[in-house]
Amino acid sequence: MDFRLSPEEEAFRQEVRSWLEQHLPRDWEDQVPEGEAWDFTRQFARKLAEKGWVVPHWPREYGGLGLSLWQQLVFREEMAYHRAPLGYIAIGADWAGPTIIVYGTEEQKREHLPRIARAEVMWCQGFSEPNAGSDLANLQTRAVRDGDEYVVNGQKIWTSGAHRADWMILLARTDPDAPKHKGISYFLVDMKTPGITVQPLIDMMDNHGFNQVFFENVRVPARNLLGEENRGWYMATTTLNFERSSIGGAAASRRLLEDLVEYVREASLPEGRRADDPRVRYHLGEAAVELEIGRLLSYRVVSLQARGQVPSYESSVAKLYNTEMGLRLARRGLAILGLYGQLRPKSRWARLRGRFERQYLWMTGMVVGGGTSEIQRNLIAIRGLGLPRD
């Protein structure tokens, strides 16, 4: 097996790297896009759009650059390594847009894709409900056809970025009598439609990223139905597959591990430990091995796609491993940094600008979002190992 990339792909990596170094402030920190960080994220997105880099993975006819799968991988690795702020742009570029490319009408493609590519609109994903997360097909939000419109009533929860979004991809039940997977439809909803209320949910990092979204007699034009009525479940699976590719997770972890190694070399550690302490070396060594495994598991997904195959349980393996590896890395960092590592970035006593405290809380969410670890293990058991469902 040859893991080397071609000279063209390496040259592209260099181009992306230089551009990012030029356009990101030296002290840029990954953070939830609120306040000044939000303004910066929007400006950065527009600069990316000028390069065609909001959707470089899309075909040229839809405003992308038609990059090869390996170039996409390189691009994503560099973005993740440099902690480039994508905010909620990724929801349109990576989930909503590609689903519209596959299932949208020409009119829907013309209306939405160019605006996503130019970073003019933000999207959010209205899938989860209070009683429909892992068991997503249990969703109860209703959409009832009324002439040229559907009337939507119900509630969504954990909707990342709904307070910033212009549009939502929405799953709603259109046939309550059909088996639960077969009565769901997929809609594109303008967030300014009367009857939509967005309420903030503050997460354990004290950030406003999530929301609850309430629908009260919201009238959605029938032309905003994506694909066929009652076939929404199958399209949602496409969206979730885009969401689970997890490329970039290992690159983000590599950057964090490099920060930790540099710190350990130079700083004095709690309890008088030093860089040559076996406990410190053990954690760093294990982390280095694990992130290499995570990287190769993501490469496996891309390699399948590059050979024209559709990854199935392999995406679940990559998502499961990379998110849990990211959480383990956070624990290792906290173990090395001691109690100071648990302080928030704003504390004057925080170590490494509180990055490991943030990583620990963030990755705890990441092992849940996009399908929990237990659900990924179930998928691996059923699709990968051929075990029975129950």
Ligand X SMILES: Cc1cc2nc3c(=O)[nH]c(=O)nc-3n(C[C@H](O)[C@H](O)[C@H](O)COP(=O)(O)OP(=O)(O)OC[C@H]3O[C@@H](n4cnc5c(N)ncnc54)[C@H](O)[C@@H]3O)c2cc1C
The number of beta carbons lying within 10 Å of the beta carbon of residue 139 is 28
Asked if 374 is part of the footprint of ligand X (rule: CB under 6 A), the reply reads yes
Q: What Cα–Cα distance (Å) separates residue 372 from each residue in 48, 260, 321, 368, 379?
A: 31, 28, 12, 4, 11
Closest residue to ligand X in the complex (CB) = 133
Q: Is 218 left (phi over 0), alpha (psi -120 to 50) or beta?
A: beta
**Judged by CB under 6 A, does residue 211 bind ligand X?**
no
Residue 254 beta carbon to ligand X: minimum distance, rounded to whole angstroms: 21
With contacts defined by CB under 6 A, name the span among 32-40, 124-132, 290-298, 339-347 that binds ligand X.
Answer: 124-132
Residue choice 369, 381, 382, 383 for contact with ligand X (CB under 6 A):
369
Tokens of 250: 């290992």
Asked whether position 368 contacts ligand X by CB under 6 A, the answer is: yes
Q: Are 316 and 373 in contact (CB under 8 A)?
A: no
Rule CB under 6 A: say whether 378 interacts with ligand X: yes
**Near ligand X by CB under 6 A: residue from 103, 127, 263, 340:** 127
Query: Which of these segments, 37-45, 93-101, 106-114, 126-134, binds ligand X (CB under 6 A)?
Result: 126-134
Non-local (6+) Cβ contacts of 105 within 8 A are: 223
Which of 78, 243, 290, 314 is the catalytic position? 243
**Whats the size of the chain, residue-wise?**
390
Stretch binding ligand X (CB under 6 A), from 97-105, 179-187, 244-252, 362-370: 362-370
304/361 with CB nearer ligand X: 361
Cα–Cα distance for residue pair 389/187, rounded to 1 Å = 30
Nearer to ligand X, 33 or 63 (CB): 33
Work out whether 221 is an interface residue with ligand X (CB under 6 A). no
Number of residues counted as binding ligand X (CB under 6 A): 18
- DSSP output for 197-251: EEEEEE-TTS-EEEEEEEEEEEEEEGGGEESSTT-HHHHHHHHHHHHT--TTHHH
Beta bridge partners of 123: 167
Instruction: Give min distance, CB of 372 to ligand X, in A.
Output: 3
Q: Indicate which single residue of 63, 87, 104, 133 sits in contact with ligand X (rule: CB under 6 A).
A: 133
Neighbour-count burial of 329, counting CB atoms closer than 10 A to its CB (0-12 exposed, 13-18 middle, 19+ buried): buried
Stretch binding ligand X (CB under 6 A), from 141-149, 231-239, 245-253, 361-369: 361-369
Q: What is the C-alpha separation between 168 and 224, in angstroms, rounded?
A: 11
322 binds ligand X per the rule CB under 6 A: no
Q: Is 243 an active-site residue? A: yes
Looking at the Cβ atoms of 77 and 243, the one nearer to ligand X is 243
CB 184 within 8 A of CB 153: no
Give strand pairing partners of 226: 186
From 155-163, 245-253, 255-263, 266-274, span contacting ligand X (CB under 6 A): 155-163
Binding site for ligand X (CB under 6 A): 124-128, 133-134, 158-160, 365, 368-369, 371-372, 374-375, 378
- Enumerate the active-site residues: 243
